[in-house]
Structures are given as structure tokens and as C-alpha cells.
Amino acid sequence: MAVPFIPAKKVEVPDIQFEKNIELPADKTAVIIVDMQNDFVKDEGNLNVPTAKETIGNIQKILQAARKKGMHIAYTQDTAVEGDPEFDIWPEHCIKDTWGWEIVDELKPEKKDLICPKNRYDGFYGTWLDHFLINIWKVEHVVIMGTVSNICVLHTAASAGLRWLKIVMPADGISALTEFDQALTLRQVSSLYGGKITESVDNIKFI
């Protein structure tokens, strides 16, 4: 009888290929910002990811570059209600219309940006993200950033990959609760969905 694989306390991280320079066509690319909300990003948030605030400046760089090119930008916004079943797994967070639910001021959406409230990890699940990316904007590439890496970022990237969208993910634009979770995200996106991973947002150029 086969014995199930049980990982040792120390697990070797498989190689992750990092791209040095990535050029993307501005008219065929959209930027997706995942759940950069007060409850996740701010120190006093109910489900704070300590490294999330370190990604704000890097995400700002991509947003500025994208807006200069007139590109499409979408935000996902984790949205819960009182008694949400997810609170059996996590502390209460991102309850609609509270401070914790709001997207951080530093990355505040503009009027023309798309905001997709969601009540599960996946930014495509039950939202209009799919409709806009594919049917309206007709993009082929997506740059995905935000938090939490192995949860909402990864599930959103998975749905993008399953739709054959070409994913780009800068490692300094996503954040996780542990280094293992961060590495897992980068590995999954690159190996399962053919995504391009780069260490820095500075390596991404819109043309």
C-alpha cells in the first residue's frame, strides 16, 4: 500500500525562472490590482499582511505607467457581509461599507477604472471581470499584483490562465503571509499557467 507523501519540515523550493525584461503591448494589456484594501494592507487592519504595504510603491509605478498609455485597469475588492461563511476560516474582514473594505488611498481607483466586488478568493467568480477583459476590452495580457499572494492573487491568476490570458506577475508587486506562500504562488503561476515572472516591476515596459 502506497504511503501518502508527507513533506519534511524543510521543503526545497523548485527553480523559478525570472524574466529580466518584459515588453507588453499597451493596447492588448490590462492591469489587475487584487484586494489592496485597508484590512489587508494597513497595520490596524483586521487581517493584515505585514509585507503588503511594501508593495504599494511598486504597484503605483505600474499604475502610473499604465495610465500614461491609456490602458485598462481593474481592481478586485474583497466584499463580505456579517456572518459570512468565510469567517469560519479567517477573522472578520472587508465587511462592505466599512473602512477595512475600502481600497487603500495610495492606490485609489480613478473613475474610468473597473472595480469588481467579490465574495470569494477568485476575482472572476461572480464578477464582471471576465466580461470586460475578454468581451469588451479584448485584451490578451494581464499584469496581476496585490494580496494575498497564494489566496486571492493566485486564484485570480488561475482563472486568467484558464481563459488563456497571458499572465505577467512581478514578485515585488505581490505579498503573502509567509515566504513559502510567496514562492508557491510564483511557482504555480509560472509552471501551471505559463505566466512570466519578474523580480521587479521595473522590468515591465508597456509599448
Residue ranges in the chain whose pLDDT is less than 70: 1-3, 8
Question: Which pLDDT value is given to residue 15?
Answer: 86
Tell me the sheet residues that pair with 174.
146
pTM of the model: 0.94
For residue 31 the three cell numbers come to 492591469
Question: Which pLDDT value is given to residue 6?
Answer: 72
For residue 59 the three cell numbers come to 504597484
In CATH terms, the fold of domain 26-206 is Rossmann fold (3.40.50)
Which of 200, 206, 160, 202 shows the shortest CA–CA distance to 18? 200
- Cα distance from N-terminal residue to C-terminal residue, the chain: 56
For the chain, domain boundaries: 26-206
Q: What is the pLDDT of residues 138-148, one digit of tens each?
A: 999 999 999 99
